[in-house]
Amino acid sequence: MASITYWLLLAYIVVALVWWFIALQRQNHQMANYKISELKMDDPAFQSKYMEIVDEKRRHDFRNIGEGSIFLVVILIASIFVYQAVRRQIRLQHQQENFMMAITHELKTPIAIAKLNLETLLKYSLSEEKKQKMLQATLQETNRLNTLASNILVSSQLEGGRYRTAKEELDLSDLIKTAINDFKNRFPERLWQCDIEPEIDINGDPLLLQILVNNLIENAIKYSPKESLITCKLFQKNKTVQFQVIDEGPGIPEDEKKRIFEKFYRIGNETTRTAKGTGLGLYLCKKIVEDHNGHIRVADNLNRGSNFMVSFTVKHTHEQ
Ligand code: ADP
């Protein structure tokens, strides 16, 4: 609706401008013709007066063409700006609607599952093994809720400049190892290959870095087949610390590689869309990495899948 109104308005403005130009030109011609008809043929200055009128008409022609084209160019440039702004706004609105739908789903599902599991545990006396399984499943759902809640809270705080980063010298190797172990417990059926260089220290905010690592690993799990390998690497080369999460999923198409870091952006591809999500994870990862003066990008994994690479620069170097 907004775009129809926009095009109609723009068409109206351009037509009005053309109309104004034609009317002005016609008036100019009529004026010149009238002045010429008023000239007396036997006037000795006829020739020079005639030339003066023709000159004046030509000057007015140029002025009208000049003014008209400047006006047209200004209108076209302004309309391009407005069009881009409106499109951006509409896209954001769509993404926000999707986000709201996704978030409602993401919030309700774990709550519903956890509630059902706890009710079952209360009502029936189950075998120890079943109980364990149910508690494990409930814990997994509450973990999902926890990630979601931190993602939403921290992104809104980082955006509003309200998040106070608590940077400290920390052992990134330890932080990543702990996160991986948590995932190994939550997803015991997955295959892992971890190559974490020990004792890599960086100056960072532990909560933010944890969110970063969790989001990247969670995506690798979410977007790759159950039996495929997930590789995590942490190493330091000179003053650069690099963390990589590599999966064997569908990978990211070339033209989406930048956009996936935008807020609420999710690839509109059926295979990835079946996975639940909000489009906040990678946006937050980028914000966190930038907050630590680092860099995040995604490349293709050699055979299949994607390789998310985060790099930080450290002030001191470790003795190798
Ligand atoms: P969410 O996972 O909640 O949708 P993210 O911001 O984490 O949001 O990711 C944005 C989009 O990038 C995802 O919707 C998905 O399409 C794509 N994506 C992220 N990680 C991967 C991955 N490891 N493999 C394939 N696609 C991915």
In angstroms, the CA 192 to CA 244 distance is 13
* Predicted pLDDT of residue 96: 80
Non-local CB neighbours of 203 within 8 Å, separated by 6+ positions: 167, 168, 169, 170, 314, 315
* Residue pair 180/194 in contact by the 8 Å Cβ criterion: yes
Picking from 272, 301, 265, the residue whose alpha carbon sits closest to that of residue 286 is: 265
Q: Which is it for strands 191-196 and 229-237: parallel, antiparallel or unpaired?
A: parallel
* Predicted pLDDT of residue 205: 94
- For atom 21 of ligand 1, the residue with the nearest CA is 219
Average pLDDT, the chain: 90
- For atom 14 of ligand 1, the residue with the nearest CA is 266
Instruction: Give the 3-state DSSP-derived string for 123-179, with helices as H, strands as E and coil as C.
Output: HCCCCHHHHHHHHHHHHHHHHHHHHHHHHHHHHHHHHCCCCCCCCEEEEHHHHHHHH
What 3-state class would DSSP assign to 229? strand
Q: Which residue has the higher pLDDT, 127 or 164?
A: 127
* Residue pair 193/231 in contact by the 8 Å Cβ criterion: yes
pTM of the model: 0.70
Residue of 218, 223, 257 to mutate, ligand 1, most atoms within 8 A of C-beta:
223
Residue with tokens 């790759």: 224
Residue of 103, 228, 282, 309 to mutate, ligand 1, most atoms within 8 A of C-beta:
282
- For atom 7 of ligand 1, the residue with the nearest CA is 281
CA angle, 313 then 205 then 220, to 5°: 75
Which atom of ligand 1 is the closest one to the Cα of 267? 16
Q: Dig out the tokens for 291 from the structure.
A: 């907050």
Query: How many A from CA of 193 to the centre of ligand 1?
Result: 21
- Is the pLDDT at 82 greater than 80, yes or no? yes
Angle at which helices 281-291 and 128-159 pack, to 10 degrees?
60
* Predicted pLDDT of residue 271: 58
- For atom 19 of ligand 1, the residue with the nearest CA is 219
Q: Dig out the tokens for 267 from the structure.
A: 């690839």
* Predicted pLDDT of residue 318: 52
Q: Dig out the tokens for 180 from the structure.
A: 């991986």
Query: Is residue 319 very low, low, confident or very high in pLDDT (cuts 50, 70, 90)?
Result: very low
* Predicted pLDDT of residue 216: 97
Residue of 107, 244, 258, 267 to mutate, ligand 1, most atoms within 8 A of C-beta:
267
Q: Dig out the tokens for 198 from the structure.
A: 């020990």
Picking from 228, 279, 277, 278, the residue whose alpha carbon sits closest to that of residue 251 is: 228
- Of the candidate ranges 41-45, 79-83, 86-90, 98-102, the one whose mean pLDDT is the lowest: 98-102
Q: How many CA atoms lie within 13 A of 199 on its CB side?
A: 5
Non-local CB neighbours of 78 within 8 Å, separated by 6+ positions: none
- In this prediction, residues 291-316 reach a mean pLDDT of 93
- In this prediction, residues 173-202 reach a mean pLDDT of 94
* Residue pair 25/63 in contact by the 8 Å Cβ criterion: no
* Predicted pLDDT of residue 320: 43
Residue of 219, 276, 309 to mutate, ligand 1, most atoms within 8 A of C-beta:
219
Residue with tokens 């999923």: 249
* Predicted pLDDT of residue 148: 86
Q: How many CA atoms lie within 13 A of 87 on its CB side?
A: 7
- For atom 20 of ligand 1, the residue with the nearest CA is 219
Query: Is residue 217 very low, low, confident or very high in pLDDT (cuts 50, 70, 90)?
Result: very high
Q: H or E element: which one contains 234?
A: strand 229-237
Q: Which residue has the higher pLDDT, 89 or 273?
A: 89
Which atom of ligand 1 is the closest one to the Cα of 305? 24
Query: How many A from CA of 184 to the centre of ligand 1?
Result: 20
* Predicted pLDDT of residue 272: 57
Query: Is residue 5 very low, low, confident or very high in pLDDT (cuts 50, 70, 90)?
Result: confident
- Of the candidate ranges 29-33, 58-62, 184-188, the one whose mean pLDDT is the lowest: 184-188
Query: How many A from CA of 298 to the centre of ligand 1?
Result: 11
Query: How many A from CA of 210 to the centre of ligand 1?
Result: 18
Strand-pairing partners, residue 312, are: 241
Q: Where are the alpha helices (DSSP H) in the chain?
A: 2-38, 46-123, 128-159, 172-186, 206-222, 270-273, 281-291
- For atom 2 of ligand 1, the residue with the nearest CA is 277
In angstroms, the CA 155 to CA 223 distance is 22
Query: How many A from CA of 213 to the centre of ligand 1?
Result: 14
Enumerate residues lining ligand 1, CB below 6 A: 215, 219-220, 223, 247, 249-250, 252, 260, 265-267, 272, 277-283, 306
In angstroms, the CA 103 to CA 153 distance is 13
* Predicted pLDDT of residue 247: 97
* Percentage of residues in the chain having pLDDT higher than 90: 63
Query: How many A from CA of 156 to the centre of ligand 1?
Result: 19
